[in-house]
Amino acid sequence: MKWNCSPCSLLWLCALAKSEMSELKIYQSVAFLKSCRKEIFRLPEYFHCTLTDSSELQQLHSDMDKGDGSIKYILTGEGAGSTFTIDDSTGDIHAIQRLDREVKSQYVLRAQARNRLTDRPLEPESEFIVKIQDINDNEPRFLDGPYRATVPEMSKIGTSVIQLTATDADDPTYGNSARVVYSILDGQPYFSVDAKTGVVRVSLADMDRETREDYTVVIQAKDMGGQLGGLAGTTTVNITLSDINDNPPMFDQRLYQMSVPESAPVGSVVGRIWAKDKDIGVNAEMRYSIIDGDGRDTFDISTDPTNLFGIITVKKVPQFEPLGANTHLDAGLRHRGPFTDVTIVHVSVEDVDEPPLFDAPAYYVELKEDAEVGTVVKNVSARDPDAANNTVRYSIERSSDPEKYFYIEITSGSLMTVRSLDREENSWHNITVLAMEMNNPTQISSVSVAVRVLDVNDNPPSLTDYLEMSVCEQTKAGMVIQTVTAVDPDEPRGGQHFSYSLAPEAVNNPNFTLRDNQGNPAERSHIARFTSG
Ligand SMILES: *[C@@H]1O[C@H](CO)[C@@H](O)[C@H](O)[C@H]1NC(C)=O
Ligand SMILES: *[C@@H]1O[C@H](CO)[C@@H](O)[C@H](O)[C@H]1NC(C)=O
Ligand SMILES: *[C@@H]1O[C@H](CO)[C@@H](O)[C@H](O)[C@H]1NC(C)=O
Ligand SMILES: *[C@@H]1O[C@H](CO)[C@@H](O)[C@H](O)[C@H]1NC(C)=O
Ligand SMILES: CC(=O)N[C@H]1CO[C@H](CO)[C@@H](O)[C@@H]1O
Ligand SMILES: [Ca+2]
């Protein structure tokens, strides 16, 4: 069987009749410069004619065909009957379906001529291949887009940010249908794209994150080597500048005013200072130190858990200069000077209103019980320790002196007696003296004054019992009738010496005598003996 070439031209006329196929022109010459005897045919994809369009793909023609209709042509193989049909009397092959190289790029078909009456093969089957020729019917696509990328601020021109790849479904081995060229549609002058590789690069020096952080870049990929008529696809890349430590810290105040109560214990927080930093993250982290001033020995400064704030705590004098320094330094930017800042913190030590303070924690005085009424027992004194130095007023806490033995002079603090004391009744007067600030009665303090009353011999002795005794008539002289004992509330209790004698009216009675036995210390008793005369 021989391939008849001449009718092939008809095929292409059919193709060209379809306006959408204008590109087919390009392939026409390619397909037909080949000998029709070759068994490979190239057909442009999208080739799509119907029988009525007389869109023969190829005509089979047997040498034995005398044109009398006795020969029948048969087509078998891939797509036979569905994609391709053959006119069994003329041998014209038609494509009856749209062809798409990206779906199926070649078909293997077989044709044979047979006797129409006997159906006997006139020749052996001949195989041929239809290769579908690519046309540029696919635009490049960014399959992974849209993209996100990050590049450090201040990057040098040419720093690579991200590589984008567009894929083109067309045949990369044939023509330029899949030859993609990249260009940037949006994002200049900050970024550029490498036409061949699709690498997006920084194209502007010293881009500053603190000025602008986010950029939207639109990249186009165009096939046909970027030529006019090529198909194009686009994608966006969101590019974020990442932070580097390019900003020094700056205290938010040139001078801080703080105060701390003088009573503040060690470790208590005086205040917080903040060196702000335009950078973020570790680049804004701060370390604080006290570089000067008298506060160095009085206060400590530490960084809070967020690493941003300086916390001043009590360690004792009120002015110093703390330093705030970045902890994370960018090695490339050290030449830009110290990443530190200095501020002044003035701490005033506040006066806490304290109550009056007595000149002794407690007082003890001794006073004889026969002291005259009005005797000054003690001059107590209290002072307001505060800077205000308020005037102090004194008083006696009433419950501590319920019987009102004492009086205190309100301004001088002289404590005096107003009643006579009696040791035998009260040997101690433990009284509480109050001192109060005149301008601020809530500031009050107290002190204890223990007054010990000393004894004086102010009590006569008395006989222990009222004695009534009887004596027999015949009692012999010298017989002890009764022993008498005396007591005395004065001191020393039990250690006193008494002298006994008969009362004057009885002295001349000869019938009785009293003998003072001088208080035999061993017996610790004082005995008088009466004897009958
Ligand atoms: C890119 O940024 C735009 C606007 O800022 C946003 O709407 C979009 O979602 C971002 N795209 C991606 C992939 O992050
Ligand atoms: C108390 O003060 C007065 C005058 O200030 C003084 O004369 C007196 O001796 C003082 N008395 C005592 C017990 O200190
Ligand atoms: C407080 O004032 C008194 C007189 O009113 C004075 O004697 C005393 O020294 C003052 N104290 C202080 C701490 O100034
Ligand atoms: C008074 O105080 C003294 C010493 O502080 C103590 O020994 C005594 O018992 C107290 N007297 C009274 C009645 O509280
Ligand atoms: C003063 C007095 O009472 N004397 C008497 C002492 O005793 C004699 C006798 O017993 C009396 O006669 C006294 O009168
Ligand atoms: Ca293409």
Distance CA 353, CA 440 (A): 10
Residue with tokens 């010496």: 497
- At 50, which amino acid appears? T
Domain 141-242 listed as CATH 2.60.40.60: yes
Residues with CB under 6 A from ligand 5: 509, 511
The 3-state DSSP class for residue 506 equals helix
**Segment (H or E) for 12:** helix 8-17
CA nearest 366: which of 489, 455, 447, 492?
455
CA–CA gap between residue 272 and residue 267 (Å, rounded): 14
Look up residue 522 and give its DSSP letter: T
For the chain, what are the domain ranges? 31-132, 141-242, 250-350, 357-454, 459-532
Mark the ranges of the chain whose per-residue pLDDT is less than 50.
1-40, 46-56, 317-319, 520-533
DSSP category for residue 518: T
Pairing of β 344-350 and β 255-261? parallel
At 153, is the secondary structure helix, strand, or coil?
coil
Looking at residue 5, its amino acid is C
Question: What ligand has the least distance to the C-alpha of 223?
Answer: 6
3-state secondary structure labels for all residues of 33-80:
CCCCCCCEEEEECCCCCCHHHCCEEEEEECCCCCCCCCEEEEEEECCE
8-17 and 24-32 helices, crossing angle to 10°: 170
Q: What is the pLDDT of residue 364?
A: 95
Do 87 and 81 meet the contact criterion of CB atoms below 8 Å apart? Answer: no
The number of the ligand 3 atom at minimal distance from the alpha carbon of 389 is 1
pLDDT of res. 33? 29
Distance 379 CA to ligand 2 centre (A): 6
Domain 250-350 classified CATH 2.60.40.60?
yes
pLDDT at position 24: 35
First to last CA, the chain: 196
Query: Which residue is closest in CA terms to ligand 5's atom 7?
Result: 511
- Specify the residue with its C-alpha closest to ligand 2, atom 9: 376
pLDDT at residue 17, rounded to an integer: 31
Say if ligand 4 is within 6 A of residue 450 CB. Answer: yes
The number of the ligand nearest the C-alpha atom of 510 reads 5
Query: Residue 430: CB within 6 Å of ligand 4?
Result: yes
Residue 35 to residues 11, 38, 134, Cα–Cα distance (Å): 16, 6, 20
Q: Which pLDDT belongs to residue 466?
A: 63
Do 31-132 and 250-350 come out as alike in CATH topology?
Answer: yes
pLDDT at 479: 76
d(CA 165, CA 197): 8
Picking from 113, 49, 115, the residue whose alpha carbon sits closest to that of residue 85 is 49
> What is the Å distance from ligand 6's center to 200 Cα?
22
Q: Which residue has the tokens 């570790």?
A: 282
198 vs 396: CA distance, rounded Å: 97
Top mutation candidate among 364, 430, 448 for ligand 4, by most atoms within 8 Å of CB: 430
* Residue identifier of the C-alpha nearest atom 10 of ligand 2: 379
Please indicate whether residue 448, judged by its CB atom, sits closer than 6 Å to ligand 4: no
Q: Could you give the strand order of the β-sheet that contains 2-4, starting from the edge strand earlier in sequence?
A: 2-4, 56-61, 92-95, 84-86
Residue type, 322: P
3-state secondary structure of 443: coil
- Quickly name the fold that domain 357-454 has: Immunoglobulin-like (2.60.40)
Q: Indicate if ligand 4 lies below 6 Å from the C-beta of 428.
A: yes
Q: Which atom of ligand 5 is nearest to the CA of 473?
A: 10
Taking the C-alpha atoms of residue 13 and residue 445, their distance in angstroms, rounded to an integer, is 122
CA–CA separation, 200 and 237 (whole Å):
9
Tell me if 379 CB under 6 Å of ligand 4: no
Give distance in angstroms: CA of 365 to centre of ligand 4. 12
Atom of ligand 2 nearest to the CA of 378: 13
Q: Is 216 in the pocket of ligand 1 (CB under 6 A)?
A: yes
**Which residues line the pocket of ligand 3, CB cutoff 6 A?**
383, 389
Under 8 Å between Cβ of 449 and 378: yes
Mutate to test the pocket of ligand 4, among 421, 426, 428, 451 (most ligand atoms within 8 A of CB): 428
Span from the CA of 83 to the centroid of ligand 3 (angstroms): 120
Answer whether 496 contacts ligand 4 (Cβ < 6 A).
Answer: no
Residue 380 CA, ligand 3 centroid: distance in Å: 15
415 Cα to the center of ligand 2, angstroms: 10
The ligand 2 atom at the shortest distance from the C-alpha of residue 376 is 13
Closest ligand to residue 471's CA: 5
Peptide bond into 146 cis (omega under 30): yes
- Establish whether residue 150 lines the binding site of ligand 1, counting it when its CB lies within 6 angstroms of any ligand atom: no
Alpha carbons 355 and 46: distance in angstroms, whole number: 105
Question: What is the fold, at CATH topology level, of the domain defined by 31-132?
Answer: Immunoglobulin-like (2.60.40)
Ligand minimally distant from the alpha carbon of residue 380 = 2
Q: SS3 sequence, 235-276? A: EEEEEEEECCCCCCCEECCCEEEEEEECCCCCCCEEEEEEEE
- Residue 193: what pLDDT? 96
Tokens 């003035």 correspond to what residue?
Answer: 346
Protein residue closest via CA to atom 10 of ligand 1: 238
The pLDDT score that the predictor gives to residue 253 is 86
Please name which of 387, 427, 381 lies closest in space to residue 408, comparing C-alpha atoms: 381
Ligand 2, CB cutoff 6 Å, lining residues: 376, 378-379, 414
Please identify, by atom number, the ligand 3 atom nearest to the C-alpha of residue 385: 13
The residue whose CA has the least distance to atom 13 of ligand 4 is 428
